[in-house]
Amino acid sequence: MSDTSTGGDDDDGEVDLGISLETVATVVDHIRAIQEGEDSDEVDTDDEDPDNEGDEEDFSEETLAAFIEELNEDEQAALVALAWIGRGDYEPEEWGEALRLAKERSSAGDTSAYLLGMDMAGDLLAEGLAAFGIAVEDVER
C-alpha cells in the first residue's frame, strides 16, 4: 500500500514516511495555531460563541483531534514517529524502529491526545521533517 506522496524515489531518495507531506504540514499549522492561542489570553474562544462561525480557520483542539483520528493507523504512527525524531528520541536512520514503536503506541490509545499533550508538538513535527531534509514551510497546502 503506497498511497503517500513521499515515496522512496521522491526528490533525493527520501524515506517513505507513510504520510503525505501536506497532511503533516496541515497538522503542524493547526497545532501551532492552537498553541499560540493557549499562550495568548487575548484569544479565549471559550468565552465566545461555542459555534464559532470561523469555519475557514477553525483551529480548535476538537477539530484537530477529529482530523488526526480520521487518519489511518500508519499515518497516525508516522506523526508520532516524526515528533519523536524532532524531539531527538530517534535519529532519521532509526525511522523503521520509531515507526514500529509508534504503531504499538497508537494501537494503545488516542493519538491526537498524545500529540496535543506534547510541548511544542508542531515544532517537533517540523523538526522531524527537517531531519529528513524537508522544510515544512516549503510544503504546499
Q: What integer is the mean pLDDT of 45-72?
A: 69
Show me where the domains of the chain are located.
21-43+57-138
Confidence of residue 59 (pLDDT cuts 50, 70, 90): confident
Confidence of residue 1 (pLDDT cuts 50, 70, 90): very low
- For every residue of the chain, which 3-state class applies, written as one string? CCCCCCCCCCCCCCCCCCCCHHHHHHHHHHHHHHHHHHHCCCCCHHHCCCCCCCHHHCCCHHHHHHHHHHCCHHHHHHHHHHHHHHHCCCCHHHHHHHHHHHHHHHHCCCHHHHHHCCCCHHHHHHHHHHHCCCCHHHCCC
Reply yes or no on whether the pLDDT at 22 is more than 70: yes
Between the ranges 10-14, 34-38, 124-128, where is the mean pLDDT highest?
124-128
**pTM of the prediction?**
0.78
Q: What integer is the mean pLDDT of 69-85?
A: 96
- Residue 40's pLDDT is what? 65
- Residue 38's pLDDT is what? 75
